[in-house]
Amino acid sequence: MASGFFAILDDIAALMDDVAVMSKVAAKKTAGILGDDLAVNAEKASGFVSSREIPVLWSITKGSMLNKVIILPVAFLLSAFLPIAITIALLLGGLYLAYEGAEKIYHFVVPHPTSKKESLKQAKTQAEVMALEKERIKSAIVTDFILSVEIIIIALGTVSKEGLSTQIPVVTIIALLATVGVYGIVALIVRMDDAGYKLIKNSSNQNSFKAKLGGVLVAALPKVIKSLTVIGTIALLLVSGGIFAHNVEFLHGRFPAIPSILTEFLLGLGVGIVVLVVVNLVLKLKKRLFPNPSTN
């Protein structure tokens, strides 16, 4: 009896070791998307008055948790009964990520006439502000859903050869990390300027260490968000390129002389440009075939 009990403990310990090791591997593979998730949500949660930033972020976080609750069981069922669907979803997600990365670069070169943040500043009434707030929360949750699908599918891909006893805890850990970790960091980022203002307000004079640190925090917030946007865009292209390089047989090890990170970036960028051109052509064709009466 005692030997059987200790054998069970050994099995549990071995399983926990496997989960820990595979969780590290999965975290590394999903780091790129987590970085973009961080950049996207830091941008969407900023720009509001101070009292609304945390409520907006909390609404997005709840939506993100609901996304995981929906996606996780579906992903496990597909992995168990239709594993080819995981690869197909991975490739479709790779197309979306490549498109997102290329679109961000395109809009940097050819910016929108009016950004969402400018629309928020132009809102005059409380009703207009709340409507824009709801729109940005909805947009963030939809984006989170797509990124969550990719995070979970990539994490699942790293443990696809393992049993469900390893797959479920590993992928669940990554899913929780994607929500708690990302939105926790976003909360700290969007409150940087408030922390800075408090330090300045509580400092004895403008030349004190507190005042200088506060000034650095206030000035750093927009730069941090811009930096995260750039890093997130690069991460999107790297992740998408990696998906194609490792899951399309024709592309696997195609350019051995070029560093893999450069190959994956160029591959993601190339695919993204193609998808962006196709999407824009489809949208233009749709406008011609189905013109909006309100614009006439």
Alpha helices in the chain (DSSP H): 2-45, 50-81, 83-109, 116-122, 126-158, 164-176, 182-190, 192-202, 209-247, 260-289
Per the structure block, which two tokens stand in for 273?
């440009």
Digit-coded pLDDT (tens) for 161-220: 777 777 788 888 888 887 887 788 877 877 787 788 888 888 777 777 778 888 888 888
Domain boundaries, the chain: 16-247+256-295
* pLDDT, averaged across the chain: 75
Q: From the CB of residue 201, how many other CB atoms can be counted at a distance below 10 Å?
A: 10
- CA dihedral defined by 35, 41, 47, 50, rounded to 10 degrees? -110
Query: What is the pLDDT at residue 247?
Result: 79
CA 186 to the chain's CA centroid: 12
How much is the pLDDT for 278?
94
Greatest Cα pair distance in the chain: 83
What average pLDDT does this structure show over 30-52? 64
* pLDDT, position 45: 62
When comparing pLDDT for 252 and 248, which is higher?
248
Instruction: Specify whether the CB–CB gap between 237 and 269 falls below 8 A.
Output: yes
In angstroms and rounded to an integer, the radius of gyration of the C-alpha atoms of the chain is 22
CA distance 117 to 274: 29
Query: Is pLDDT of 133 > 50?
Result: yes
Mean pLDDT of 108-122: 60
- Residue type, position 124, single letter: K
